[in-house]
Amino acid sequence: MAEVGNELQRHAAEEHQAQTDGFHLVIDALKLNGIENIYGLPGIPVTDLARLAQANGMRVISFRHEQNAGNAAAIAGFLTQKPGVCLTVSAPGFLNGLTALAHATTNCFPMILISGSSEREIVDLQQGDYEEMDQLAIARPHAKAAFRVLHAEDIGVGIARAIRAAVSGRPGGVYLDLPAKLLGQSMEAEKGRKSLIKVVDPAPRQLPAPDSVDRAVALLKNAKRPLILLGKGAAYARAEADIRTLVEKTGIPYLPMSMAKGLLPDTHPQSASAARSYVLAEADVVLLVGARLNWLLSHGKGKTWGKPKQFIQIDIAATEMDSNVAIAAPVVGDIGSCVSAILDKVGNDFAKPGAEWLNAVADRRDTNLAKMAETLAKSRDVSPMNFHGALNVLKDVVKANPGISFVNEGANTLDYARAVIDMYEPRKRLDVGTWGVMGVGMGYAVAAAVETNKPVLALCGDSAFGFSGMEVETICRYNLPVCIVIFNNNGVYKGIDVNPTGGKDPAVTTFVPGARYDKMMEAFGGVGRNVTTPAELEAAVNEALRSGKPTLVNAVIDPAAGTESGRLTNLNPQSSAKK
């Protein structure tokens, strides 16, 4: 008995003396909160943090550039409702990650950018440290919140605050500054364990006020030409089941924004996607569900919106209301709670919209769908291959594989693909988002593969791919089931511009003609394919999806195909004037 007692005492004493440090506390705090993956780029002072995270069972995906790691973390947040974590070194690494942090904040994706930083004392006195920078001050305007932790015992609080700030209310990007000194600080293991916080209910439901729901339903009931507009906030909120019930119960036509495609299958009979201009101009009451009236919706005014209308807006951010035009019926709360409250009030006796409206929408839609089918059929045998010839094939690939993630970036490659490729499941279309930014492609592709464990098809314009192309090495290194298709027309928009001076430099919008991007993938052990016809494209992509091997398909598109700035000529005044 006495021996056992001594043994216990010795054990207790050992435990008492056991130490932990900043590195382990950061990892333990993340794991305690269910964060399993880190996207980042190791280096001073976070190399050991990345190593130890891996050693302690986290999945650490090391990228070639922090911006791509940040974009991966941002979309991981969108896909999982947990903050995606990006880890970078100080100053330049931090700045490289900052674009992605701002992107996450703008798109309302939860993300935490964790950057190592140099000695506070030296930074604050501007004495010139290795990679010296006041990172916290720089991050603040680009993030929803920004924190710095100076003492190991505060790591638990710092991470809890970062998680809560990222996912509660309107989600966004959070910056967490971890000075090098902090990571090396040690403290008693037991004290450290007790200092960690498991965040309870990080994104609490926010119920809408009952009178706001009554106001919204009254407006909807009196509408003659109602429209439901779904945004990526609804996709993030995972509210697809109730949204489908609402759409079907009310019989109202709906329009998905691009990343809301697939919330209901694009082939749903009430989808008004193919009658977009018509319904936006003609509707008299529009219910916005997790979509902002920003530039993507012409700010809710002007010719696009035609006839006068009233808006009902569901959003978790009260300050979003009236941001561009008056909102007649704001419903502030989380989308799940708001839609279910509206459903309750709508009841079973909701009078569906009149036949005049529904027939007019259906006529437009069917006419436009027939036109599109004709364009696609005509382009099947066009040589050299054009955008529609290639997209016709990918449309069928996605239809046959509705569970894959479809990443899409570019100008023409984005615009045409959005219109042609139907989505069937929620959160499968991942694209350039609120900024219309290029360069998200490979970061998104990596994170989609890691988070969903399913294949990814990434369709990029040759210009867009250039921003993150080096990550093909990352895709090969982690052996991810990613098939990249590059629509290669030798340039930005198209590849036939000439230098107006007749000088030796190429035109500013052109690339090396006939470039073989597929060789990049081969350089790292992946599969490269060069295709010039829709049939070859189809075979290459299907083989990639079957094999699950990292694949890059260089799809040669007619260099003369493509229009300036996609459809955004209004944002490119000089080129519009030129035309």
Residue 401: enclosing H or E segment and its boundaries? none
CA distance 80 to 77: 5
For ligand ADP, the closer of residues 116 and 233 by Cβ is 233
- Kindly identify the residues of this chain, within the stretch 277-316, that bind ligand ADP according to CB under 6 A: 290-292, 294, 296, 315-316
For ligand ADP, the closer of residues 29 and 166 by Cβ is 166
For ligand ADP, the closer of residues 38 and 260 by Cβ is 260
How many degrees, rounded to 5, is the angle at CA 238 between CA 237 and CA 241?
A: 130
- Kindly identify the residues of this chain, within the stretch 413-452, that bind ligand ADP according to CB under 6 A: 434
List C-alpha distances in Å: 149 to 32, 48, 120, 124, 366. 18, 18, 11, 15, 58
Judge contact between 229 and 288, C-beta under 8 A.
yes
Q: Does 236 bind ligand ADP (CB under 6 A)?
A: yes
Judged by CB under 6 A, the residue of 38, 145, 199, 237 near ligand ADP is 237
User: Residue 203 CB, nearest distance to ligand ADP (Å)?
Assistant: 7
User: Residue 564 CB, nearest distance to ligand ADP (Å)?
Assistant: 23
For ligand ADP, the closer of residues 131 and 315 by Cβ is 315
Label residue 373 left, alpha or beta by phi (over 0 means left) and psi (-120 to 50 means alpha).
alpha
Q: Does 241 bind ligand ADP (CB under 6 A)?
A: no
Q: Does 240 bind ligand ADP (CB under 6 A)?
A: no
How many residues contact ligand ADP, by CB under 6 A?
Answer: 24
For ligand ADP, the closer of residues 259 and 482 by Cβ is 259
For ligand ADP, the closer of residues 142 and 232 by Cβ is 232
Task: Quickly tell me which residue has 């299958």 as its tokens.
Answer: 265
Judge contact between 73 and 84, C-beta under 8 A.
yes
User: Residue 220 CB, nearest distance to ligand ADP (Å)?
Assistant: 18
Q: Does 334 bind ligand ADP (CB under 6 A)?
A: yes
For ligand ADP, the closer of residues 107 and 273 by Cβ is 107
For ligand ADP, the closer of residues 345 and 380 by Cβ is 345
Residues 6 or more apart whose Cβ sits within 8 Å of residue 133: 90, 91, 94, 95, 117, 118, 123
Judged by CB under 6 A, the residue of 317, 373, 400, 523 near ligand ADP is 317
Judged by CB under 6 A, the residue of 335, 411, 437, 521 near ligand ADP is 335
Judged by CB under 6 A, the residue of 260, 393, 485, 561 near ligand ADP is 260
Task: Quickly tell me which residue has 């693909």 as its tokens.
Answer: 417
Helices (H), 188-294: 189-195, 210-222, 232-236, 240-250, 276-282
DSSP letter for 244, please. H
User: Residue 108 CB, nearest distance to ligand ADP (Å)?
Assistant: 4
User: Residue 398 CB, nearest distance to ligand ADP (Å)?
Assistant: 19
Q: Does 21 bind ligand ADP (CB under 6 A)?
A: no
Q: Does 330 bind ligand ADP (CB under 6 A)?
A: no
Q: Does 83 bind ligand ADP (CB under 6 A)?
A: no
- What is the three-class DSSP state of 143? coil
Pairing, β 254-256 against β 285-289:
unpaired
Judge contact between 40 and 63, C-beta under 8 A.
yes
For ligand ADP, the closer of residues 112 and 259 by Cβ is 259
Q: What is the DSSP string of 486-508?
A: EEE-SBSS-S----TT--SSPPT
Residues 6 or more apart whose Cβ sits within 8 Å of residue 351: 221
Query: Two tokens at 565?
Result: 């700035």
User: Residue 357 CB, nearest distance to ligand ADP (Å)?
Assistant: 23
Judged by CB under 6 A, the residue of 20, 90, 96, 107 near ligand ADP is 107
User: Residue 241 CB, nearest distance to ligand ADP (Å)?
Assistant: 14
Task: Quickly tell me which residue has 């969108």 as its tokens.
Answer: 78
Judged by CB under 6 A, the residue of 259, 286, 407, 492 near ligand ADP is 259
Residue nearest to ligand ADP (CB): 233
For ligand ADP, the closer of residues 108 and 442 by Cβ is 108
Judge contact between 302 and 240, C-beta under 8 A.
no
Q: Does 163 bind ligand ADP (CB under 6 A)?
A: no
CA distance 422 to 87: 35
List C-alpha distances in Å: 23 to 10, 181, 192, 194. 27, 10, 11, 16
For ligand ADP, the closer of residues 183 and 235 by Cβ is 235
Q: How far apart are the first and last CA of the chain?
A: 95
User: Residue 170 CB, nearest distance to ligand ADP (Å)?
Assistant: 4
Burial tier of 238 (Cβ tally within 10 Å: 0-12, 13-18, 19+): middle
The residue among 97, 92, 102 whose CA lies nearest residue 140 is 102
Judged by CB under 6 A, the residue of 120, 164, 225, 232 near ligand ADP is 232
For ligand ADP, the closer of residues 152 and 338 by Cβ is 338
Secondary-structure percent of the chain, ordered helix, strand, coil, rounded to 5: 50, 15, 35
Q: What are phi and psi of 438, to 5 degrees?
A: -90, 155
For ligand ADP, the closer of residues 235 and 556 by Cβ is 235
Fill in the per-residue mask, 167 to 206: x = in contact with ligand ADP (CB under 6 A), - = not in contact. ---xx-----------------------------------
CA quadruple 502, 507, 508, 513: dihedral sign = negative
Residues of the shown chain interacting with ligand ADP in the complex, contacts defined by CB under 6 A: 107-108, 170-171, 231-233, 236-237, 257, 259-260, 290-292, 294, 296, 315-317, 320, 334-335, 434
